[in-house]
Structure 1
């Protein structure tokens, strides 16, 4: 049995106050067709099996490109879909029926004190699946903690960049800006 090195359950999140309402931000959060434009890592995402919006059990594919040049394709299954407040999904390297998730991602939106603002939290938790992070720590167990922390730091930076890009696009769509 492989040693886990703290990968399973490793978690990071960002929480940002944005100058959009929950209803203005929700369409961006759930617009998979734009993830490739916004994310430093995800280059493509698209609904599968006729799905066009998040619903628990809906599936979509995603492709990622990592700084080391590695390109992956994964299957995602929606685990939370409560418009306009929560959107979450598990990430799989194979069929969800036969594989464990690599990770769980989630967006949670809540109205801020000022009605024109939203608090957005994006979170990531490593799952028990055989992810790239798990492979990296197995390859260099002496540096497992630093490798894992580096990945979590990278994810947090990417979350901030992605949310920032979403906000810019969503703000452009406001009627008063057109």
Structure 2
């Protein structure tokens, strides 16, 4: 696990990696199943493809609905910005040119047929719900960013653990 950036303008990032005892194709099937993700997350409540799309492709859009005790409920539209099976699936939140966040799954095949899976995310450079908290308490920006990035780190770890369990046959799909 690693994360960088102390201020929102730094576009802080976090990345978490797991080794998964399944092929990249199997892991790809799971990470690109956006309907699965709300079952693996406390924050993400629902996800739905838009515009008749049923599978990931660059330019495809989906709407996500989320809930957080401190931030309330919100809805965002995300745009698939990278989709190379079975290696990279990434999306930009709200505006592909100036996203409030970018999320990415990277899959690396191991020689033994298993997969290293990394989930990475970057805040900004566009404004997000966190921006409003910082606007209200600018003197606490570093603490606000730190707390949220640690939250992302924990949540990503939990998502990857759940994906690992499913891919390895120990969890529900």
For the superposition of Structure 1 and Structure 2, which TM-score range results when normalised by the shorter chain? 0.7 to 0.9
TM-score (norm 1): 0.85
Residue 57, structure 1, aligned to residue 59, structure 2? yes
Q: Which residue of 2 aligns with 1:44?
A: 46
Residue 6, structure 1, aligned to residue 3, structure 2? no
Task: Indicate if the aligned counterparts of 2:71 and 2:129 stay in contact, CA closer than 8 A.
Answer: no
Note the residue ranges of structure 2 that are not aligned, 5 or more in a row: 1-5
SS at match of 1:168: helix
**Aligned equivalents of 1:124, 1:170: Cα separation in 2:** 22
Deviation at 1:68? 2.4
Change in Cα spacing, 1:83 to 1:147, as seen in structure 2 (3 Å) is same
SS at match of 1:32: coil
Q: Which residue of 1 aligns with 2:108?
A: 110
- Larger mean Cα displacement after TM superposition, 33-42 or 5-14: 5-14
Residue 77, structure 1, aligned to residue 73, structure 2? no
**Aligned equivalents of 1:19, 1:40: Cα separation in 2:** 25
**Aligned equivalents of 1:23, 1:160: Cα separation in 2:** 21
Q: Which residue of 1 aligns with 2:98?
A: 100
Task: Indicate if the aligned counterparts of 2:34 and 2:48 stay in contact, CA closer than 8 A.
Answer: yes
State the Cα RMSD in Å: 2.0
Which structure has the larger Rg? Answer: 1
Task: Indicate if the aligned counterparts of 2:21 and 2:167 stay in contact, CA closer than 8 A.
Answer: no
TM-score (norm 2): 0.88
Change in Cα spacing, 1:34 to 1:16, as seen in structure 2 (3 Å) is same
Q: 1:162 aligns with which of 159, 162, 171?
A: 159
Q: Which residue of 2 aligns with 1:134?
A: 131
**Aligned equivalents of 2:152, 2:167: Cα separation in 1:** 22
Change in Cα spacing, 1:69 to 1:145, as seen in structure 2 (3 Å) is closer
Task: Indicate if the aligned counterparts of 2:20 and 2:168 stay in contact, CA closer than 8 A.
Answer: no
Task: Indicate if the aligned counterparts of 1:79 and 1:89 stay in contact, CA closer than 8 A.
Answer: yes
